[in-house]
Structure 1
Amino acid sequence: MTVLRVGSLLFRLHPGALLITLLAIAIMVKLGFWQIDRGQEKQMIIDRHAQAEELIQPNTEQLLALVDSPDTQITITATLDPQRYFLIDNQILHGRAGYHVIAFAQAPEFSPLVLPVNLGWVPAGVSRSELPDVALPEGHVVLNGHVRVPSERPFMLQDQIFDTTDAWPKRIQFPELDKLNSALDVNLAPIILLLDEENPLGFPREWPVVVMTPHRHYAYAVQWFGLAIAALVVFFVASRVRAQAKSYEE
């Protein structure tokens, strides 16, 4: 056991307790800096979204390049595949469970690419075995909105297994574009278009720029740093109390 004297104060530092305390402090400080990094990332997304004012009509080359320019606003005149579409499961809107509808747009300007389009939210049926019957618009339609680059696959207990039958629509948990591409046997663009909330086509939709604001992340960072300081204070207070108790016993 290490004895530390600071002025008239005596601290008996137990190596095991000291190690655990320092480890806990290191973890909390790391989490604090992680929250700061996340807050800065969210602020960059918000700034980028605010600056994406120019509306472009992309050709094939531009559509492929948009993977490096998320939040770009685009507009296209295209046709949607009326039969084949995917339903992203576990989507909540105003407290109700449902699905996001992913349709596929084709246009001469970016042929042979096919562009996935999120048309919005539809409610789930009473039974999980019954998928909603969605009527997609026919003919040429104008689609506009922001580009979204799908994030890395979130944590799932097992890999998605896509329905290989000819039955449509197909329910999925997450839009893994490589698997969507294989299921459709087409050349998908590496992005998803989030249909603008003001577009009269599609279904109800709300596209928050970020789920958690930068200030919330910064507040969590302050909490983690505060806990780290509190852990250090508690450790020294507890060490001092034990030292005093032992001196009284002697």
Structure 2
Amino acid sequence: MKVLRLGSLFFRIHLGAMLITLLAIAVMVKLGFWQIDRGQEKQMIIDRYTAAETYSQITLENLVDLASAPDERVSLRARFHPEYVFYIDNQIYQGRAGYQVLALASNASLGEILIPVNLGWIPAGQNRTDLPNVDVPSGTVEVFGRVRVPAESPFILQAQEFVANTWPLRIQYPELAKMREQLNLPLADFMVLQSPEAEIGFVREWPVVVMTPHRHYAYAVQWFGLALAAFIIFLVASRHKPKRTGKDSK
């Protein structure tokens, strides 16, 4: 233990307590900057979403570009394949559990490429072993909405295995690359969130971001405030009042 003097103040520094405090401060400051980075990312998403004002036609030539253009507005005259329907599990809407219905659409100009289209949310039945029945739109329909590029390595509790002979197929997350490989389906590298304005589909409410940039910035301020509080508490707890000698008391 070491006594440190700063002007007229004395502090008794305990090395272990100091290291723990510095570590805690470093972690909280890092979390604060992480929240700032997340806020900036969310703002970029919002700006990108707002900037995409017109619909572009999905073509064989722009398939690769669209895979790196999330939130782009796209449209396609296509036919759905009712034999290929995915139910994305554990989707909550207004407090009720259900699924998001992912169907596959094709267009003659795209060759064999299938476009995954999220048609929206449906409620789950009383018994999870029985999947609800849905009517996938038939004939040629207009698909239009936003490009969504699912994460390649999502956080899921258990690795997914796709069995091709069990349709409709319940999945935890649309891992397109894995679905393409295991099911031997020529899927595009992105999917389309069917617009709420479209006549076909189910319940469709697609939030741009789950948490706004200002909320992230508020959390950053809280983390920085906690770091400052930890430093102040350490200083107060370490403050030492030396004993006055008889000579000093005269």
Structure 1 length-normalised TM: 0.94
Q: Which residue of 1 aligns with 2:193?
A: 194
1:218 paired with 2:225, answer no
Q: Tell me the residue number matched to 1:153.
A: 153
**Aligned equivalent of 1:130:** 130
**Corresponding residue number in structure 1 for 2:170:** 171
> Partners of 1:144 and 1:100 in 2: how far apart?
17
| Aligned-partner residue type, residue 26 of structure 2 | A
Q: Is the 8 A contact 1:124 1:132 kept in 2?
A: yes
Deviations 1:211-238 (A, max 9, x none): 0000000000000000000000000000
Alpha carbons 2:33, 2:220 under 8 Å: kept: yes
Structure 1 residue matching 2:131: 3-state secondary structure: coil
Whole-Å separation in 2 of the counterparts to 1:219 and 1:143: 39
Partner in structure 1 of residue 19 of structure 2: 19
Distance in 1 (CA, whole Å) between partners of 2:133 and 2:14 is 66
What SS does the aligned partner of 1:87 have?
strand
**Stretch moving more, 179-188 or 119-128:** 179-188
Give the length in aligned residue pairs.
245
Is contact 1:153-1:174 (8 Å) kept? no
**Greater fraction of residues in helix:** 1
Check whether the contact 2:112–2:186 (CA below 8 A) recurs between aligned residues: yes
Pairwise CA distance, 1:165? 5.2
Post-superposition offset of 1:179? 2.1
Q: In structure 2, how many angstroms separate the alpha carbons of the residues matched to 1:177 and 1:165?
A: 14
1:33 paired residue number: 33
Q: Which runs of 4+ in 1 moved over 6 A?
A: none
Three-state SS of the structure 2 residue aligned to 1:129 is coil
Cα-to-partner distance string for 1:178-203 (whole Å, 9 max, x where unaligned) = 22213442211100100001101010
How large is the Cα RMSD of the aligned pairs?
Answer: 1.5
Is 1:120–2:111 an aligned residue pair?
no
Structure 2 match to 1:180? 179
Mark the runs of 5 or more structure 1 residues left unpaired by the alignment.
Answer: none
- What do the CA deviations read for 1:105-143 (whole angstroms, capped 9, x no partner)? 000122221100000001001011111111101110101
| Cα distance in 2, alignment partners of residues 110 and 4 from structure 1 | 74
Matched, 1:5 2:5: yes
Of the structure 1 ranges 12-21 and 58-67, higher mean CA displacement relative to structure 2 is found in 58-67
Cα displacement (A) at 1:94: 1.0
Contact map agreement 1:56 1:74 (CA 8 A) in 2: yes
Structure 1, residues 84-113: CA drift from partner, whole Å, max 9, x if none? 111000001111100000100000122221
Q: Match of 1:100, SS?
A: strand
Q: SS where residue 102 of structure 2 aligns?
A: strand
- 1:64 deviation in Å? 1.9
Letter paired with 1:213? T
Asked if the contact 1:58/1:109 (under 8 Å) is kept, the reply is: no
CA distance in 2, matches of 1:128, 1:215: 38
Unaligned 5+ runs, structure 2: 245-250
Residue 236 (structure 1) aligned with residue 228 (structure 2) = no
Report matched runs for 1:52-91 at 5 Å.
Answer: 52-91=52-91
Residue 58 of structure 1: how far off its partner (Å): 2.0
Mean Cα displacement is larger for which, 13-22 or 146-155? 146-155
